[in-house]
Amino acid sequence: MKVVTVLLLLLGCTSKNVQPVSKVDVVEAKQSWWKLWKLEPPIKDPNKACDDGRVAGCFWIGSALEKRGEFDAAYEIFNDLCSKHEFAPACYNQSIFVSRKLVKNIDATLGYSLAVKACQLGSIQACGQIGYLKENGIGTALDIESAAAQYKSACDIGDVLACNNLAYMFRKIKKHRSASSLYRKACSLGYLPSCYREVWLKVQGCSENSPECDKQLTKVRTPEQDAIWRKKLVRLSKAYCDSNKSSTACTVTGIGLASGVGIDYDSEMAAEYAKKACDTEDAWGCNELGNYYRKGVGVVGDDDTAAAHYKKSCELGFEIACRDYATMHLNKDVSNPDVKEAKKVLSSACQRGVNAICEDMIYMCSADVMPCR
């Protein structure tokens, strides 16, 4: 019953073993990272930039090597950036490499130490990574109490995986309202698996301490299990939406119709369900409707209309829609592109703790997509 006690305590207190990073700390860290780009000319040749000692160029090369699966070479670059420049994203990447055993002959305890260092330097994901390592006893002692508290701390400053993992802990003890709230936060920050999981709890009729809910709860599903789960989710969501019980269920129904998962494919009906959701102020639904207009799914494609729906979704709190809206202005996909508006929207989202958008801004600045100088 220790997990139950730990999670109940989390509603009102924080463990002394939590690595503290406030939103202010994160913003300050991001701003210091931006200086690596903003005070220098844009990167045209990452290799040359790295040879010239520019952190941005080296990080780009390390990321490219990682994508190619050349983990040892990428690790060496990230190690240099972390140890010499205390560049938090590089320290975090090193931690991931070690904890997932992507590099050989490196003790797991180093992975934990790197996560702590990256967290203290302002990496939100690293703060959540500490919770994961503690929960699973990787590179540090197994400590569920400290892991849960660490997840809460990281979730509070915007780490979507921390919110998602903490929600799973609450589901295990049937605290579905608490889990739903955490899923909702991760969803608003753009982590779609949490969006689906929140709706799943809703359409099952889960309330606090519901013994019938989550009887077959599992953290990792096989592809076959996932397909069955998604079909059931769409069917239940349609019933909930048609009964006007949940606007978010309408969004999921539309996604099912647009993909033919759990229901017959019908792109026009998909757009109708997304519109119903958006008209009732469902932020995710507005984002999906924007996607449909941008891709011409079930509606006549119209970039200006897509941008309008992304803007509404952003204003309703679906943070990743802010990125889509800003990107359309930066790429001049709308009739009246406004770079200043794009920068304002992205900066506001980053200030609210949307880590993915903060990092997008770094790359946009370095590639001179957006004027940051």
pLDDT score of 196 more than 80? yes
Is 293 domain-assigned? yes
Residue that is last in its domain, among 137, 158, 179? 158
Residue 115 to residue 65: CA distance in whole angstroms = 21
Is 172 domain-assigned? no
Is 9 domain-assigned? yes
Is 214 domain-assigned? no
Range 34-56 average pLDDT: 68
Is 169 domain-assigned? no
**Residue-range definition of the domain harbouring residue 31:** 2-158
Do 153 and 234 lie in one domain? The reply is no
Do 16 and 150 lie in one domain? The reply is yes
- Among the residue ranges 89-98, 304-313, 346-355, the one predicted with the least confidence is 346-355
Please choose, from the candidates 196, 213, 190, 225, the residue with its C-alpha nearest in 3D space to the C-alpha of residue 314.
Answer: 190
Mean pLDDT of the chain, nearest integer: 86
Residue that is last in its domain, among 113, 143, 158? 158
Quick check: 134 and 142 in contact, CB under 8 A?
A: yes
Do 250 and 138 lie in one domain? The reply is no
Do 152 and 228 lie in one domain? The reply is no
Do 342 and 262 lie in one domain? The reply is yes
Quick check: 168 and 194 in contact, CB under 8 A?
A: no
Do 227 and 338 lie in one domain? The reply is yes
Quick check: 237 and 253 in contact, CB under 8 A?
A: yes
Is 187 domain-assigned? no
Do 131 and 230 lie in one domain? The reply is no
pLDDT of residue 23: 63
Residue 92 to residue 122: CA distance in whole angstroms = 10
Do 132 and 252 lie in one domain? The reply is no
Please choose, from the candidates 301, 328, 295, the residue with its C-alpha nearest in 3D space to the C-alpha of residue 314.
Answer: 328
Domain of 283: which CATH number? 1.25.40.10
Is 199 domain-assigned? no
Do 152 and 236 lie in one domain? The reply is no
Share of the chain above pLDDT 70, in %: 82
Is 26 domain-assigned? yes
Task: pLDDT band for 39, please (50, 70, 90 cuts).
Answer: very low
pLDDT, tens digit, 9 for 90 and up, residues 275-331: 999 999 999 999 999 999 999 999 999 999 999 999 999 999 998 899 999 999 988
Number of structural domains found in the chain:
2
Cβ-Cβ contacts under 8 Å for 51 (sequence gap 6 or more): 57
Do 24 and 107 lie in one domain? The reply is yes
Do 12 and 101 lie in one domain? The reply is yes
Do 257 and 341 lie in one domain? The reply is yes
